[in-house]
Amino acid sequence: MLAVGSIVAALAVLLAGCGAKEPAPQADPLRISCVGDSITYGFGLADRAEECWVSLVADALPEGSRVANFGVSGACARADGHYPWEETLRAVEFWEAEEEIVIVMLGTNDVCDAAWSAEVFERDYRELVEKIRAKPGAPQVIVMLPPAIHASSEADARLADEAIPALERVAQHAGACIVDLHALTADHPEWFDDGLHPNAEGNAAIAAAVEEALRSCRRDA
Protein backbone atom coordinates (compact mmCIF):
# COMPACT_ATOMS: atom_id res chain seq x y z
CA MET A 1 0.00 0.00 0.00
CA LEU A 2 1.29 3.43 -0.91
CA ALA A 3 1.95 5.62 2.14
CA VAL A 4 1.41 9.35 2.28
CA GLY A 5 5.15 9.90 2.41
CA SER A 6 5.55 8.56 -1.11
CA ILE A 7 3.67 11.58 -2.41
CA VAL A 8 6.82 13.64 -1.91
CA ALA A 9 8.47 11.92 -4.84
CA ALA A 10 5.28 11.99 -6.89
CA LEU A 11 4.74 15.72 -6.55
CA ALA A 12 8.44 16.41 -7.02
CA VAL A 13 8.13 14.89 -10.44
CA LEU A 14 5.19 17.15 -11.29
CA LEU A 15 6.89 20.28 -9.97
CA ALA A 16 10.34 19.62 -11.44
CA GLY A 17 11.86 22.35 -13.60
CA CYS A 18 11.50 22.23 -17.36
CA GLY A 19 15.25 22.30 -17.79
CA ALA A 20 15.84 18.81 -16.44
CA LYS A 21 18.23 16.95 -18.69
CA GLU A 22 17.08 13.45 -17.80
CA PRO A 23 13.52 12.07 -17.84
CA ALA A 24 11.95 12.04 -14.37
CA PRO A 25 11.05 8.63 -12.96
CA GLN A 26 7.45 7.48 -13.34
CA ALA A 27 5.40 8.34 -10.25
CA ASP A 28 2.90 5.85 -8.89
CA PRO A 29 -0.78 6.83 -9.04
CA LEU A 30 -2.66 7.46 -5.81
CA ARG A 31 -6.17 6.75 -4.61
CA ILE A 32 -7.60 9.44 -2.34
CA SER A 33 -11.11 9.75 -0.92
CA CYS A 34 -12.46 13.08 0.35
CA VAL A 35 -15.17 12.99 3.02
CA GLY A 36 -17.02 16.18 3.86
CA ASP A 37 -19.91 18.58 3.48
CA SER A 38 -20.80 21.22 0.88
CA ILE A 39 -17.31 22.74 1.04
CA THR A 40 -15.88 19.44 -0.14
CA TYR A 41 -18.73 18.91 -2.59
CA GLY A 42 -18.04 22.28 -4.22
CA PHE A 43 -21.38 23.99 -3.58
CA GLY A 44 -21.86 27.37 -5.24
CA LEU A 45 -19.06 27.08 -7.80
CA ALA A 46 -19.81 28.02 -11.39
CA ASP A 47 -17.85 25.01 -12.64
CA ARG A 48 -17.66 22.52 -9.79
CA ALA A 49 -15.85 19.89 -11.89
CA GLU A 50 -13.01 22.29 -12.61
CA GLU A 51 -12.95 24.68 -9.62
CA CYS A 52 -13.59 22.45 -6.58
CA TRP A 53 -10.50 21.91 -4.43
CA VAL A 54 -10.93 18.15 -4.77
CA SER A 55 -10.66 18.40 -8.55
CA LEU A 56 -7.68 20.74 -8.32
CA VAL A 57 -5.82 18.30 -6.06
CA ALA A 58 -6.55 15.50 -8.53
CA ASP A 59 -5.06 17.57 -11.35
CA ALA A 60 -1.77 17.86 -9.44
CA LEU A 61 -1.28 14.12 -8.91
CA PRO A 62 0.40 11.56 -11.18
CA GLU A 63 -1.47 10.21 -14.16
CA GLY A 64 -3.82 7.41 -13.22
CA SER A 65 -4.54 8.79 -9.74
CA ARG A 66 -8.10 8.83 -8.44
CA VAL A 67 -9.48 11.45 -6.08
CA ALA A 68 -13.09 10.64 -5.18
CA ASN A 69 -15.40 13.34 -3.84
CA PHE A 70 -17.71 12.05 -1.10
CA GLY A 71 -18.82 15.50 0.01
CA VAL A 72 -22.51 15.94 0.80
CA SER A 73 -24.10 19.37 1.19
CA GLY A 74 -25.50 19.91 4.68
CA ALA A 75 -23.75 16.89 6.18
CA CYS A 76 -22.49 16.87 9.76
CA ALA A 77 -20.23 14.62 11.79
CA ARG A 78 -22.56 14.06 14.73
CA ALA A 79 -24.61 10.87 14.55
CA ASP A 80 -27.54 12.70 16.17
CA GLY A 81 -27.19 15.81 14.04
CA HIS A 82 -29.68 17.16 11.53
CA TYR A 83 -28.01 15.35 8.59
CA PRO A 84 -25.30 12.85 9.61
CA TRP A 85 -22.80 12.21 6.82
CA GLU A 86 -22.75 8.53 7.77
CA GLU A 87 -26.42 8.21 6.78
CA THR A 88 -25.95 9.50 3.23
CA LEU A 89 -25.75 7.47 0.02
CA ARG A 90 -22.27 8.85 -0.61
CA ALA A 91 -21.16 7.37 2.71
CA VAL A 92 -22.40 3.96 1.58
CA GLU A 93 -20.30 4.31 -1.57
CA PHE A 94 -17.31 5.48 0.46
CA TRP A 95 -17.28 2.40 2.66
CA GLU A 96 -17.10 0.26 -0.47
CA ALA A 97 -14.18 2.23 -1.95
CA GLU A 98 -10.49 1.48 -1.51
CA GLU A 99 -7.84 4.14 -1.13
CA GLU A 100 -4.46 4.94 0.39
CA ILE A 101 -5.50 8.31 1.83
CA VAL A 102 -8.74 9.70 3.26
CA ILE A 103 -9.17 13.45 3.71
CA VAL A 104 -11.92 14.35 6.18
CA MET A 105 -13.52 17.80 6.56
CA LEU A 106 -16.66 18.00 8.67
CA GLY A 107 -17.74 20.37 11.43
CA THR A 108 -19.08 23.51 9.76
CA ASN A 109 -22.68 22.29 9.85
CA ASP A 110 -22.20 20.87 13.33
CA VAL A 111 -21.30 24.22 14.88
CA CYS A 112 -24.22 25.88 13.09
CA ASP A 113 -26.67 23.42 14.67
CA ALA A 114 -28.70 24.74 17.61
CA ALA A 115 -28.14 21.40 19.35
CA TRP A 116 -24.34 21.78 19.20
CA SER A 117 -22.35 19.75 21.72
CA ALA A 118 -18.56 19.81 21.62
CA GLU A 119 -18.37 16.59 23.61
CA VAL A 120 -20.68 14.66 21.29
CA PHE A 121 -18.98 16.14 18.23
CA GLU A 122 -15.55 15.00 19.38
CA ARG A 123 -16.82 11.53 20.28
CA ASP A 124 -18.57 10.97 16.95
CA TYR A 125 -15.74 12.44 14.90
CA ARG A 126 -13.24 10.20 16.66
CA GLU A 127 -15.40 7.16 16.01
CA LEU A 128 -15.64 8.10 12.33
CA VAL A 129 -11.87 8.48 11.99
CA GLU A 130 -11.24 5.18 13.78
CA LYS A 131 -13.73 3.47 11.48
CA ILE A 132 -11.95 4.93 8.44
CA ARG A 133 -8.57 3.73 9.70
CA ALA A 134 -10.05 0.24 10.07
CA LYS A 135 -10.93 0.06 6.37
CA PRO A 136 -9.05 -2.52 4.25
CA GLY A 137 -5.51 -1.28 3.78
CA ALA A 138 -5.69 1.02 6.83
CA PRO A 139 -5.70 4.28 4.86
CA GLN A 140 -3.83 7.31 6.12
CA VAL A 141 -6.18 10.02 7.44
CA ILE A 142 -5.79 13.76 6.97
CA VAL A 143 -8.05 15.88 9.20
CA MET A 144 -9.02 19.26 7.77
CA LEU A 145 -9.84 22.05 10.21
CA PRO A 146 -12.80 23.77 8.48
CA PRO A 147 -12.49 27.23 6.94
CA ALA A 148 -13.51 30.34 8.86
CA ILE A 149 -17.23 31.12 8.88
CA HIS A 150 -17.41 34.73 7.77
CA ALA A 151 -21.20 34.69 7.61
CA SER A 152 -21.57 34.27 11.38
CA SER A 153 -19.16 35.49 14.04
CA GLU A 154 -20.99 33.37 16.62
CA ALA A 155 -20.61 30.15 14.61
CA ASP A 156 -17.00 30.98 13.79
CA ALA A 157 -16.19 31.52 17.47
CA ARG A 158 -17.73 28.13 18.26
CA LEU A 159 -15.68 26.58 15.48
CA ALA A 160 -12.44 28.19 16.67
CA ASP A 161 -12.93 27.77 20.42
CA GLU A 162 -14.64 24.38 20.65
CA ALA A 163 -14.68 22.38 17.41
CA ILE A 164 -11.10 22.93 16.29
CA PRO A 165 -9.53 21.93 19.64
CA ALA A 166 -11.69 18.80 19.50
CA LEU A 167 -10.49 18.05 15.96
CA GLU A 168 -6.89 18.55 17.00
CA ARG A 169 -7.34 16.00 19.79
CA VAL A 170 -8.97 13.55 17.38
CA ALA A 171 -6.09 13.94 14.92
CA GLN A 172 -3.49 13.51 17.66
CA HIS A 173 -5.21 10.38 18.93
CA ALA A 174 -5.30 8.90 15.42
CA GLY A 175 -1.82 9.99 14.40
CA ALA A 176 -3.40 11.93 11.55
CA CYS A 177 -2.05 14.94 9.69
CA ILE A 178 -3.87 18.27 10.04
CA VAL A 179 -4.58 20.94 7.44
CA ASP A 180 -5.54 24.18 9.18
CA LEU A 181 -7.96 25.86 6.80
CA HIS A 182 -9.35 28.07 9.54
CA ALA A 183 -6.06 29.90 9.98
CA LEU A 184 -5.60 29.98 6.20
CA THR A 185 -8.96 31.62 5.51
CA ALA A 186 -9.56 33.76 8.60
CA ASP A 187 -8.23 36.93 6.97
CA HIS A 188 -9.69 36.29 3.52
CA PRO A 189 -13.42 37.04 3.46
CA GLU A 190 -13.02 37.74 -0.28
CA TRP A 191 -12.64 33.97 -0.78
CA PHE A 192 -16.30 33.48 0.28
CA ASP A 193 -19.03 35.05 -1.82
CA ASP A 194 -21.70 34.07 0.72
CA GLY A 195 -19.47 34.11 3.79
CA LEU A 196 -19.60 30.32 4.10
CA HIS A 197 -18.73 28.50 0.87
CA PRO A 198 -15.31 29.14 -0.71
CA ASN A 199 -15.41 30.60 -4.22
CA ALA A 200 -13.00 29.58 -6.99
CA GLU A 201 -10.15 31.59 -5.44
CA GLY A 202 -10.82 30.08 -2.03
CA ASN A 203 -10.91 26.57 -3.45
CA ALA A 204 -7.57 27.15 -5.17
CA ALA A 205 -6.07 28.21 -1.83
CA ILE A 206 -7.50 25.11 -0.12
CA ALA A 207 -6.13 22.87 -2.87
CA ALA A 208 -2.67 24.37 -2.45
CA ALA A 209 -2.80 23.70 1.30
CA VAL A 210 -3.84 20.09 0.71
CA GLU A 211 -1.09 19.57 -1.84
CA GLU A 212 1.44 20.89 0.69
CA ALA A 213 0.08 18.46 3.28
CA LEU A 214 0.43 15.60 0.84
CA ARG A 215 4.07 16.55 0.34
CA SER A 216 4.90 16.90 4.03
CA CYS A 217 2.80 14.29 5.84
CA ARG A 218 4.44 11.02 6.83
CA ARG A 219 2.92 7.78 7.98
CA ASP A 220 3.99 6.99 11.52
CA ALA A 221 6.47 4.17 11.78
The one-letter code for the residue type at 108 is: T
Contact indicator for 35, 70 with CB cutoff of 8 Å:
yes
Average pLDDT over residues 103-122: 97
- Strands 140-145 and 66-71, by their bridges, are unpaired
User: Taking the CB of residue 113, how many other CB atoms lie within 10 A of it?
Assistant: 17
The one-letter code for the residue type at 36 is: G
Least confident of 110-114, 176-180, 213-217: 213-217
pLDDT: which is higher, 179 or 7: 179
* Ordered structural domains, the chain, with CATH: 8-13+28-152+164-216 (3.40.50.1110)
Residue 34: beta bridge partners?
69, 103
Give per-residue pLDDT as tens, 56-87. 999 999 899 999 999 999 999 999 999 999 99
**Alpha-carbon gap, residue 167 to 216, rounded angstroms:** 20
Average pLDDT over residues 135-161: 97
**DSSP H helical segments within the chain, as ranges?**
7-15, 38-41, 48-51, 53-59, 89-96, 108-111, 118-133, 153-158, 164-174, 181-185, 200-216
**Alpha-carbon gap, residue 111 to 88, rounded angstroms:** 19
